Amino acid sequence: MSKSLPEQTRTPAPAGVFTLVITGAPYSSQAPSTALHFARAALAANKRIDRVFLYGDGVHLASSLSAPPSDELNLSEAWAAFLTENSIPGVACIASALRRGLVNEAEMHRYELSASNLREPFEIAGLGEWVDSAASESRILYFHKGG
């Protein structure tokens, strides 16, 4: 930062790898939008994002069926494009996703559901993906609903 700030007391190595966890749903919270702005700024600062994990209501971001009015940002589409362009894995928690009706083709067949609606390049996986980040050097940032 270019601002004049108080003298520093410690100089640990700054975090180089981030995991972003989004728990706020699009259109009911600002979380996916704030997270996307942060993610773009992080890559511009040469940070790496090892994965984006959707949890709780955040899984709605991975829906291929959201159709907001044409003068509003399509957050699912914007996130999907960002993940694809930058080859960042986007993972929706399977337990959160199945409860909320967000399924890929494999889960559609397994549970004999009438349709699947997971948007590419999002994947569905367990909380183990988040545990993997927690056990690594990644800095985990959470984007919850506001209120």
Tell me the C-alpha to C-alpha distance, in Å, between residue 27 and each of 31, 39, 66, 101, 142.
9, 19, 10, 17, 17
Q: How far is the CB of 145 from other proteins (least distance, A)?
A: 7
Q: How far is the CB of 44 from other proteins (least distance, A)?
A: 7
Query: Cα(105)–Cα(123) distance, rounded to whole angstroms?
Result: 11
Q: Which residues bind other proteins (CB under 8 A)?
A: 1, 3-12, 14-16, 18, 21, 23-24, 30-31, 34, 37-38, 40-42, 44-45, 47, 55-58, 95-96, 99, 126-128, 130-131, 134-135, 139-147
Residue placing its CB nearer to other proteins in the complex, 95 or 121: 95
Query: Cα(72)–Cα(77) distance, rounded to whole angstroms?
Result: 12
Q: How far is the CB of 96 from other proteins (least distance, A)?
A: 7
Which residues are catalytic, by number? 93
- Exposed, middle or buried: residue 36 (CB in 10 Å: 0-12, 13-18, 19+)? buried
Residue placing its CB nearer to other proteins in the complex, 69 or 146: 146
